Copies of this chain bind each other. A is one copy, B any other.
Amino acid sequence: MSSATSQGARRLKVRPLTQQAFAPFGQVIEARPGESFEINQGSTERYHNLAELEFSGSAARPIINIFRGQAYQDALLALMEYHPYGSQLFMPLNQRPYLVVVAPKGELNEDEICAFLAQGHQGVNYAAGVWHHPLLALEQTSDFLVVDRAGDEANCVEQSLSQFIQLDY
């Protein structure tokens, strides 16, 4: 995010987050009706294996973290990032919506940046290499459980945008 003025910013429309629309970028983590089975003598429904986790590189392993993100204040988006050696999963812990901004793997094409509004029951798992904006909580400071990769290599590549983006939602 940047505090620059909106002069010259490109506007990008935010769409609802669905598994189908997000498929090129990873998975939506949610309890979809009819896609569970009973465990614990019937007292629990298990929605099984919802993410394609990826961990590569030297001494690669999954780690569990909490990210506490400040709320997005309609500022301008100024950069994107990706993680070459692992997927990164965000699950909201406060049932509040948040924004998801992504672009396909490979050389960043700013015309292919997409924005989604995630509901408070929906997590996302970014596939390794997928461009995404850092966490954009909404309404107020919010916590997310994050499953990502630790290992020997540095695992974050950032790139500034040639033109600021302002989200319409």
Q: Assembly of this chain: how many copies?
A: 2
Q: Is the CB of B68 within 8 A of A31?
A: yes
CA distance A65 to B37 in the complex (A): 11
A49 contacts which chain B residues (CB < 8 A)?
Answer: 63-65, 150
* A-B pairs, 9 with minimum CB distance: A40-B134, A51-B64, A47-B66, A45-B68, A49-B63, A44-B69, A43-B70, A31-B66, A91-B145
Other-chain residue from B39, B61, B69, B91 in contact with A91 (beta carbon distance below 8 A): B91
A95 contacts which chain B residues (CB < 8 A)?
Answer: 93-95
Is A13 located at the chain interface by the 8 A CB criterion? no
Chain B residue nearest to A61 (CB atoms) is B53
Is A4 located at the chain interface by the 8 A CB criterion? no
Q: Is the CB of A145 within 8 A of B145?
A: yes
Query: Which A residues, 80 to 137, have Cβ-Cβ distances below 8 Å to chain B?
Result: 89, 91-95, 121, 123, 125, 134-135
A65 contacts which chain B residues (CB < 8 A)?
Answer: 46-50
A63 contacts which chain B residues (CB < 8 A)?
Answer: 48-49, 51, 53
Chain B residue nearest to A44 (CB atoms) is B69
Could you pull out 12 A-B pairs where Cβ atoms are within 8 angstroms? A1-B43, A31-B143, A40-B69, A44-B134, A46-B146, A47-B67, A48-B65, A50-B64, A50-B66, A94-B95, A95-B95, A147-B147
CB distance from A124 to the nearest CB of B (A): 11
